[in-house]
Structure 1
Amino acid sequence: MATYSCLLSVTLSFLVLFSSCSAQISQVTSRGRQQRTQTQCNIQNLNTLEPQQRIESEAGHTDLWDQNSEDLQCANVAVIRHTIQNRGLLVPSYINYPQMMYVLQGEGLHGASIPGCPETFQYSQQQQQSQSQSRSQGRGDEHQKVRQIREGDVIALPTGIAHWIYNNGQSNLVVVSLHDIGNADNQLDQLFRTFFLGGSPQQEFQGQSRQQGRQQGQQGQSRQQGRQEGQQGQEQSGDNVFSGFNQDLLAEALNIDRELVNKLQKNDRQRGIIVRVHDEFQVVAPHRREQQEREEQEQEQEKWHQPGGGSNGLEETLCTLSLKHNINKPSLADVFNPRAGRSTSINAYVLPILENLQLSINKVVLYKKAIYAPHWNPKAHSILYIIRGSGRIQIVSQRGDAVFDDNVKEGQVVVVPQGFAVVQKAGNSGLEWISFKTHPLAKISQLAGRRSFLTSTPVDVLANAFGVSREDARRLKNGRREITLFSPLRSSSDY
């Protein structure tokens, strides 16, 4: 009995010590992930941002926003948009920081290669026998999970994950992407760069988009010339990752012949990064209906998953975590006003992988002349992309200055720095946008409406703070009883 008591005591002591250490490690890790690279945000005037450059490829094009703009540099992010034509393939690539994509239009296939995860999508023996003779002579294809994507899907990609997109639909597939350069995972510089594993990427993707990059490029030009002399006839800028390796070493590493190495390293500027697929595109993927039903079940289950809260950390691994969630369904709205619109957020509670990315997203649909309550973002920068419609946005700094007051329209980007107050009002055609946010559990603090600063503050505090009567303070406090989305008043102007 004494021995049993002793063992029980030791076991309990070990569990307490282990739990304490685990909690400390978890706290340290969480704090480390939350640290972003800070930049100077001495912004006196924000602007509507539109693509400044279009890069043409064989089967589509890519629009780039100016990474030298003070707005994007303040938030330390990059924004790009891919338009992929039917049978177009956005070649595999990876980046040194997390990214989040939103499907604006169309449908297609998305694949991500996660290091260390198994190839769970495989052809069965019967399927292999039904393939072409050239395929049946080999082992048969196997690869990691392939996802069907469609309009309204949010796709989250952790740092360094190689991914590709193929358009198997009938119309163009358009995807806008936020690159979180300021994320703590980025241990390089603050340049926008992409590492392509195929195609013939243009030089604009190779990290020379900011003034800092141009200066670094000039300083390193003499060193690069020496390397170029040893690689006669090969261009060293704008190639995919395989192009830089020695051919003999690459042939040995991949166990292939020199002829195939030459094809890997071939540079065809006209193909770019979105290439045309001429033959039948064959991958292992569930039928669309089956996958959509499975995704709906997964999304229902994810509602009850809370990172670090109700989870014991063993339910899901990186290999099985969901990377996408559709934000378009009205039934998923967090806030709905039949006279104003709806607002839907996808954060780490809904899509657990976002805890790793330290990002979240919010989609707002405003009806004609409706207003999204004046508010500020306590923990995050907010990068707005206008999906459709038009409207007016005002942003106010800590000095009380209106640093932005302009009409916005489809395809434009507006950056709202952390803590800056903002209000949006839809025009006659309504206003719809998504907000990429640099925090996994981003929230807003309202300046008006129910559950706002005004309604939670005592009347006498408001009266004295603004120098008004108690009656006026009550009118100020109770003027709007709606939550977040405000219906238009009869006296509402066009904007």
Structure 2
Amino acid sequence: MAKLFLSLSLLLLAHSCLAFQQQNECNIQRINAVEPRQRVESEAGFTEFFDSNDQQFQCAGVDVIRHEIQPQGLLLPSYTNAPILFYVEKGYGIQGMTLPGCPETYEVSQQQFQGRKGGESFQDRHQKIQEFHQGDVVAIPAGAAHWIYNNGQDDLVLIVLLDSTNVANQLDQSHRRFFLAGNSQQGQEQRQQQGRQQTPWGYKGQQGQSLQKGSNNIFQGFDVEVLAEAFNVDRETAEMLRCEDDKRGHIVRVERGLQVVSPRMGREEQSQGQQGQQDRRGRRQGQDNGFEETICSMKVRANIDDVSQADVYNPQAGHCNHLNSFKLPILRLLQLSAERGVLHKNAIVAPYWMMNAHNIIYVTNGNMRMQIVNHEGQAVFDDVIQERQLVVVPQNFAVVKQAGEQGCRWISFRTNDNAMINTLAGRTSAIRALPVDVLTNAYQMSREEAQRLKYNREETVLLSPSSLSRGGRAPRA
């Protein structure tokens, strides 16, 4: 009995400590629009990192990075301790993801390649490859090895969210990337020359400081003889796995283009919308397709730029596309979702709060004024967020957004696979749902004023600027 009491006491204490830690992390008095703080160059591109020590990222438990990959650039194979959701801001490419136990369904049936030694011929085979393009959102589970290649003519730009406090991450509250190839010594030398102590591929220690850890590939830690034995290759080949003399960084250039087994995707995008509608109809009554939703064949990408698939549409204000686990079931595993938003000139998103998720908002085009209010009724953010800036809106913090003169487009990531909002104004708002007498007594107003408060705005989430332009306050440029 004493041991049981002690165990319960320790469990309650641990739970209290975790709750207290989370409370401290989200006790935010000021939020700022942030830009990437660090940049790591490679042979065929670069990666920018937002400061993971910033209080708003600590609150949401996420990290955000931005890849820019040049044509014929290959982001080397790696895996992370956190699930990944990335948005394709520009360009197109291909991505491979390796999942244990899944079959090598892509294989050469006629074309043969010559082996490195002895003139032996072999047929290449590998797991499925995904093609993606601008507007796609791609999901990668924690621990899944993956690579990305730019087979287009323009730079490929990816906005990447890593949910480091996801239940899948059992290491610590920071993301770590484990490379299967490459050598980051070049990137480390750059950081030392620039006087930076932080390593974005590393991990944070106490008080949030970053520990000086390299990001060389994991084979460098193994003995060469063990590698040779494990792969049944000679020592020379085993040493090549270590990439010790490779100075190209984590994004390398493939001089003659990447030769992989991949089908042509000519008509896939045309049928993607119809397939998505069929998938939704098949799950309308909560029934999952047992074949399509196995981990090996599960869809990992969906496009959220198509205005014809908008979930919220107002011709005078803009539109929003939501991507959740009902549309892309793998998001249920990742516990993440996304939104693509477009606001026309001076249009406004009705004040709302996110009921069950943090909201990470990145502006891709234009700008908008945002106000964020905490539980004490204090404005923790009141500013214009510009293109390529990011803001984290913590769960339950109220927020309102109004586009500038050029309008605004953004991508937002949510830390719940079915994130829900509750609006404060509009036809489906919390205020609209309250009885008139409740409004009258709560705000000390007449019944006529309460009725106008409830019924003057018939739009739902996206509000047109017509009434706001008559005496409304425009966003500051």
> Alpha-carbon deviations, 1:333-353, whole Å to 9, x = none?
001000000011000000000
Q: What's the counterpart of residue 9 of structure 2?
A: none
Distance 1:76 1:319, change over 3 A: same
Distance 2:347 2:79 in 1: 40
Q: Report the Cα offset of residue 421 of structure 1.
A: 0.2
1:165 aligns with 2:148: yes
Distance 1:188 1:307 in 2: 37
3-state DSSP of counterpart to 1:55: strand
Amino acid at match of 2:202: G
> Alpha-carbon deviations, 1:365-404, whole Å to 9, x = none?
0000000110000000000011110110000001100000
Specify every segment of 5 or more residues in structure 1 that has no aligned partner in the other structure, as ranges: 1-34, 219-235
Q: What's the counterpart of residue 456 of structure 1?
A: 433
Q: Report the Cα offset of residue 264 of structure 1.
A: 1.4
Q: Contact between 1:192 and 1:205, CA under 8 Å: does it hold in 2?
A: no
Which of 330, 334, 341 is 1:364 aligned to?
341
Q: Contact between 1:302 and 1:351, CA under 8 Å: does it hold in 2?
A: no
Distance 1:213 1:305, change over 3 A: farther
Task: Map 1:346-425 onto structure 2 (within 5 A).
Answer: 346-425=323-402
Q: What's the counterpart of residue 125 of structure 2?
A: 142
Q: Contact between 2:337 and 2:416, CA under 8 Å: does it hold in 1?
A: yes
3-state DSSP of counterpart to 1:177: strand
Distance 2:284 2:115 in 1: 48
Distance 1:324 1:145 in 2: 13
Q: What's the counterpart of residue 460 of structure 2?
A: 483
Distance 1:328 1:399 in 2: 36
Which of 39, 47, 50 is 1:65 aligned to?
50
Distance 1:191 1:371, change over 3 A: same
Larger mean Cα displacement after TM superposition, 276-285 or 67-76: 276-285
Distance 1:44 1:192 in 2: 25
3-state DSSP of counterpart to 2:363: strand
Amino acid at match of 2:313: F
Distance 1:97 1:168 in 2: 27
1:113 aligns with 2:90: no
Q: Report the Cα offset of residue 295 of structure 1.
A: 3.6
Q: What's the counterpart of residue 78 of structure 1?
A: 63
Amino acid at match of 1:253: A
Amino acid at match of 2:417: P
Which of 251, 270, 277 is 2:247 aligned to?
270
Q: Contact between 2:84 and 2:141, CA under 8 Å: does it hold in 1?
A: yes
> Alpha-carbon deviations, 1:445-483, whole Å to 9, x = none?
000001101111111101111111111101111121101
Amino acid at match of 1:41: C
- What is the TM-score normalised by the length of structure 2? 0.88
3-state DSSP of counterpart to 2:255: coil
Q: Report the Cα offset of residue 158 of structure 1.
A: 1.0
Amino acid at match of 1:166: Y
3-state DSSP of counterpart to 1:289: coil
Q: Report the Cα offset of residue 293 of structure 1.
A: 4.2
Distance 1:415 1:262 in 2: 44
Larger mean Cα displacement after TM superposition, 190-199 or 76-85: 190-199
> Alpha-carbon deviations, 1:134-178, whole Å to 9, x = none?
698432111111111110000011111111110010000000100
1:342 aligns with 2:319: yes
Q: What's the counterpart of residue 92 of structure 1?
A: 77
1:178 aligns with 2:178: no
Q: Contact between 2:114 and 2:122, CA under 8 Å: does it hold in 1?
A: no
Once the two structures are aligned, what percentage of the paired residues are identical? 48
Q: Contact between 2:42 and 2:252, CA under 8 Å: does it hold in 1?
A: yes
Q: Report the Cα offset of residue 315 of structure 1.
A: 4.8
Q: Contact between 2:140 and 2:300, CA under 8 Å: does it hold in 1?
A: yes
Distance 1:484 1:211, change over 3 A: same
Q: What's the counterpart of residue 203 of structure 2?
A: 208
Q: Contact between 1:392 and 1:424, CA under 8 Å: does it hold in 2?
A: yes
3-state DSSP of counterpart to 1:303: helix
Superposition RMSD on alpha carbons, in Å?
Answer: 2.2
Q: Report the Cα offset of residue 294 of structure 1.
A: 5.3
Q: Report the Cα offset of residue 443 of structure 1.
A: 1.0
Q: Report the Cα offset of residue 300 of structure 1.
A: 2.7
Distance 1:178 1:354 in 2: 13
Q: Report the Cα offset of residue 133 of structure 1.
A: 8.2
Q: What's the counterpart of residue 230 of structure 2?
A: 253
> Alpha-carbon deviations, 1:288-325, whole Å to 9, x = none?
31443454443233323549922275552000100000
Task: Map 1:260-339 onto structure 2 (within 5 A).
Answer: 260-268=237-245, 270-293=247-270, 295-306=272-283, 309-311=286-288, 313=290, 315-339=292-316
Structure with the higher fraction of residues in helix conformation: 1
Q: Report the Cα offset of residue 361 of structure 1.
A: 0.5
Q: Report the Cα offset of residue 268 of structure 1.
A: 4.5
Distance 1:461 1:432 in 2: 37
1:104 aligns with 2:89: yes
Distance 1:268 1:308 in 2: 56
Distance 1:364 1:137, change over 3 A: same
Q: What's the counterpart of residue 134 of structure 2?
A: 151
Larger mean Cα displacement after TM superposition, 300-309 or 267-276: 300-309
Q: Report the Cα offset of residue 38 of structure 1.
A: 4.1
Amino acid at match of 1:184: V
Q: Contact between 1:306 and 1:348, CA under 8 Å: does it hold in 2?
A: no
Distance 1:237 1:307 in 2: 48
Distance 1:109 1:312 in 2: 26
Q: Report the Cα offset of residue 97 of structure 1.
A: 1.6
Distance 1:371 1:214, change over 3 A: closer
